Amino acid sequence: MPELPEATTSGKLPRLFVATQPDSCRIVKTIQADATQAEMPAHPAGSRASNGHVYVLESSSKALRGCTNAQTPLYPPLYSTTQKEPPVPISTHGLVLVDAETHPRNVLLKFLDNKGRVYWCQIQLLKHTVSQIFNKCDWEEAICVVDSASRGFKVAIAFEFKDHVLAFLTLDLLVQFYWSEDRTQMPAQQPDVYLEFPRFLDDLVAWITQRRTIQSNRAGNAMTLVRGTTEIFAGAGVYTISELWHMAGLSPNLTEAEVFDSPSRTARLCAAFYHFGKEAHTTLWPLVQRFLQDYVICVRPEHRLLYSERLHVWGKDRSYVTERFHDLMTRFEAACAERSTDDVWIREFTPSDGPFDVFEPDLVRHALEHEQLNLGSLIFGSELWTTLHASAHLPVACLADENALSRFFRTTPSEFTIAVLGDDWLDPSAYSYLFHLDSKASRARHPRTHLYRASNADIWSVIPAYPNNSAPIFRPRPSRSSTSTKSKSKLSLASAPEVTPMLEGDAETREKALLTYKIRYTQEFTVGPLDYCGIARRIKGRGQDIIFYCKGDPRALKFYHRRLALAEVTAKLKVRGEEKQGLSPKVLAGVEKKVARIPAAALTATSNKENVEGDKPNPKKRRSADRGLALSGLVLSPRKRRRLSS
């Protein structure tokens, strides 16, 4: 599933295109796509679609995309025709791209046709998808020449304009399309946590209320639940969840009830999500813009790791934390170690002994500085928040607690207050100040991360999981009435709900799951907007970088294709520690066979030397300054030798 950062940047790229190109350059000329394996036989033999090349969709196209039981048309239904009618080119409708909206799981494109009708296209990213905007030359000479099985990605849909092509690229064509004249009728109605924070909290409160009415003790893993609740935590996928849990100071094996029956924990999770979302909108996009070649994202191999530097724990060997965070973590580890020898440990909180959550306010700073909607009083309690607010010199508006989440917990029925004891899992003595003034404080310590596994997903954390002999406090099935006054249940081993133990990966498994390992030694894509199949590759060439807009780009010298192929097989040798043995003749033959399959360039290139098929380019030759001037057409005056006086 795509995550909030990747989906956000995929929406910002077409928005940049709209902002920088005139209307005349944003009129749709054709809509193109790759055919699926099932669709190819239906196309005429020898056609582009049957050969696996991107092709132009006609108005009679019946191509469908999306989930098996709910597929939707790829071609806009408003302009479609029947098989019996003559096809009508999409260009006749004068469809102009006028806007693009970002969304945690979708990209929404707004068009205006020559009849004044607004037409929306929602591109739902069921799997990781990236948007790229190619100029027509690169599109026609590279993407269109290489078939979908060889180029390294598939074209889910592409809109051809005058000079550019906006394409959505994916590995498996698992993308859904919705077309509508009414934006409010589109399925993508989940709020973006950064752009619509109040609405997000409203939806969250309704969701928690609904979850409390089901016939369950809500003892399932909270991380797994949040990751699967896409209607609320839209864009919070596998790696985002680990980041949010770290930022909120939560142990990875807390249950649903332990998180969402706690005002502080719930508020911290919301604050972390808001901070994460704001970073995606405000600081991540400038990073991506550094690697734009025209409108195409293209990176060198070493750039693929840049996004990981923004992450706290996911795929990291160590995490940089503050001294305060490290002290709280050490105390939490000690408490877990001490109680791990008990027969059973009911995870009950006491203000004197904790255990205290490992929370660092710096990690959710954007949320704590939010003037219109602030969760500080829910996180710390009103009294402590007033003190911390003053220490950070925040505006008075940050003291207000009139929001949906605060109102919800003020009216929480008594059967759900069993978790709300003392200061709600935080140690007040650890927070004599709110934010660190020294920018270096965030890198004071660097503890090793833990890799856990739950529900077939990796979980990364520096905060350890509660030991397997621990169990959450029992939650009785709630009353349907919001005015219920049930008494708290007595804590005992018999009343503790069963929880699936969380398993930690061994050293070898952990090493192979590190982002640095995957990028250096495998061909796997990792996370972030700079590392995916549709990202163009930039490698060092003679004097300037060579850009591969896809695998098998026919315009590049075969020398560079060979170099990339050799790098792939060499990386596998390094994994096994066999790099000193060299490549076997069989492996080398496979490389040459792979290079030989690269298609010839369709058009003459601008630089003959850069696009002639052949072996390694000639080495550089030394040239004198005089020769350079002569070649430029300048005439050199003869120089007289001066005789040195004796």
The string of pLDDT tens digits covering residues 86-95 is: 999 999 999 9
Q: Are strands 545-548 and 536-540 parallel, antiparallel or unpaired?
A: antiparallel
d(CA 201, CA 427): 26
Per-residue confidence (pLDDT) for residue 42, from 0 to 100:
93
pLDDT band, residue 233 (cuts 50/70/90)? very high
Query: Which of 90-94, 136-140, 343-347 shows the lowest per-residue confidence on average (mean pLDDT)?
Result: 343-347
Residue among 198, 8, 179, 21 nearest 105 (CA): 8
Query: Which of 174-183, 435-444, 570-579 shows the lowest per-residue confidence on average (mean pLDDT)?
Result: 570-579
- Residue 318 carries which DSSP code? B
Residue in the block written with tokens 């970002």: 102
3-state secondary structure (DSSP) of residue 375:
coil
Whether the per-residue pLDDT at 222 is higher than 90: the answer is yes
- Domain ranges for the chain: 4-185, 197-507, 525-611
Q: Which amino acid is at 620?
A: K
323, 444 in Cβ contact below 8 A?
yes
SS3 content of the chain, % helix, strand, coil (to 5): 35, 15, 45
Residue among 412, 424, 422 nearest 486 (CA): 412
260, 231 in Cβ contact below 8 A?
no
Per-residue confidence (pLDDT) for residue 399, from 0 to 100:
94
The predicted model gives 537-554 an average pLDDT of: 87
Give pLDDT tens digits for 28-45: 999 999 999 999 999 999
pLDDT band, residue 565 (cuts 50/70/90)? confident
The predicted model gives 158-177 an average pLDDT of: 96
d(CA 440, CA 311): 17
Query: Which of 142-146, 228-232, 358-362 shows the lowest per-residue confidence on average (mean pLDDT)?
Result: 228-232
Query: Which of 149-158, 431-440, 477-486, 622-631 shows the lowest per-residue confidence on average (mean pLDDT)?
Result: 622-631
H helices within 414-532, ranges in order?
507-513, 515-521
CA angle in degrees (0–180, nearest 5) for 423-428-432:
155
Count CB-CB contacts under 10 A for residue 432: 10
Distances, alpha carbon 27 to alpha carbons 59, 92, 95, 248, in Å: 17, 10, 6, 46
> What token pair was written down for 174?
């698992």
Per-residue confidence (pLDDT) for residue 317, from 0 to 100:
97
CA-CA-CA-CA torsion sign (342, 346, 347, 348): negative
Q: Give the torsion through C-alpha atoms of 359, 361, 364, 365, to 10 deg.
A: -170
Rounded to 5 degrees, φ, ψ at 497 are -70, 150
Per-residue confidence (pLDDT) for residue 426, from 0 to 100:
95
For 393: left if phi > 0, alpha if psi spans -120 to 50, otherwise beta; the answer is: left
- Residues sharing a CB contact under 8 Å with residue 183, sequence separation 6 or more, in sequence order: 108, 110, 118, 120
DSSP codes, 143-204: ITTS-TTTSSSEEEEEEE-SSEEEEEEESS--EEEEEES-GGGSS--PPPTTTTHHHHHHHH
pLDDT band, residue 441 (cuts 50/70/90)? very high
Entry field: residues in the chain: 646
The predicted model gives 239-257 an average pLDDT of: 96
Whether the per-residue pLDDT at 266 is higher than 70: the answer is yes
CATH number of 4-185: 3.20.190.10
Per-residue confidence (pLDDT) for residue 642, from 0 to 100:
40
